[in-house]
Structure 1
């Protein structure tokens, strides 16, 4: 008999998987229909709401880990969730940045990362682990995460260049200073996350190998 907690975490991961699948499919379809330039410029307006909703819901994952529903390290997930939501808030506030190609690239990378992670989480909930999904989840996910963080840094630099060239306004007066402080925090957080994920990858692969030897 399925427990409420198990049913909840299954449907949470399934909902996130469906949401990110829709975003990626929509983005690719727009590229095929309208071409690169128009699709890049209009990505945020076409998928920004669903992306924001998915990232807002991802905050629940911190409570999942703290409550023991999901078995994962809290610090890496906290960094991943917060860096995405902080950047989304910046992009939402600065409408002029929303049409930049770097935002479309960031959304694409975020969706690829989540579409690598949530199927693995679904298989774990159903207790049907797959070595292929386990390998993809960690061996492919980590370099893509590094690429995503690099693109986040590029996005922030573009935001800085825009804010610095904009006439002084109460909205932007403290933003450059805050962003300059945020960049080293982002780099440190990402470094710790990658280190933790490498340890987690080794742990899961060792656990899988021991299970196979017992069989």
Structure 2
């Protein structure tokens, strides 16, 4: 009987942890996206110059914490393939470090566009993950996540190439 209680307590801790992690990421990316959009509607194209300055810390925090997803997969908390997630997480973190180190490029419109697309993709992913953790997966949300993911991911990769070109200038 005690073994079952220990297992249930461990399972409930893991569930609370993964829910909290996904909720934190969802809220962080929601804040970044809302801030980016509000700044653009308020200041127009002038907002592009300091968008990274405005949201860069929260974006860096969310991306740094995304490394935990690799441990989630390795520990079995999350069901996903490790190698694709590793490539995705490390690619975004490396590009973000490049943007941080190359301060002169932080005001480029391509960086603002990249942050915008990354946050839309992450909002789709983390909202779906939250629904799955709560055992209320939505077929509509799953469809939206993977249908929008295709064109958004293609745009993101194209813009990542532009950011990479900025680092060579």
On whether the aligned pair clears a TM of 0.5, the verdict is yes
How big is each residue's C-alpha offset from its partner over 1:54-106, in whole Å with a ceiling of 9 and x where there is no partner? 00000000000111101111111111101100001111111101111100000
- State the 4+ residue runs in structure 1 displaced beyond 3 angstroms: none
1:14 aligned partner: 23
SS at match of 2:83: helix
Take 1:46 and 1:122, find their aligned partners in 2: how far apart are those partners?
27
The corresponding residue for 1:151 is 159
User: Structure 2 unaligned runs (5+)?
Assistant: 1-7
Q: Which has the higher contact order (CA 8 A, sep 6+)?
A: 2
Query: Does residue 84 of structure 1 match 2:92?
Result: yes
> Which has the greater radius of gyration?
1
Q: Name the TM-score, length of structure 1 as normaliser.
A: 0.72
Corresponding residue SS for 1:110: helix
Q: Give the Cα–Cα distance (whole angstroms) in 1 for the partners of residues 60 and 122 of structure 2.
A: 14
User: TM-score under structure 2 normalisation?
Assistant: 0.91
Q: Quick check: 141-150 or 84-93, which moved more? A: 141-150
For these two proteins, the number of residue pairs brought into alignment is: 160
Note the 1:27-42 alignment, pairs <5 A.
27-36=36-45, 38-42=46-50
Partners of 2:92 and 2:43 in 1: how far apart? 27
Corresponding position of 2:80? 72
Paired position in structure 1 for 2:141: 133
Query: Which consecutive unaligned segments of at least 5 residues does structure 1 have?
Result: 162-215
Structure 1 segment 33-72 matched on structure 2, within 5 A: 33-36=42-45, 38-72=46-80
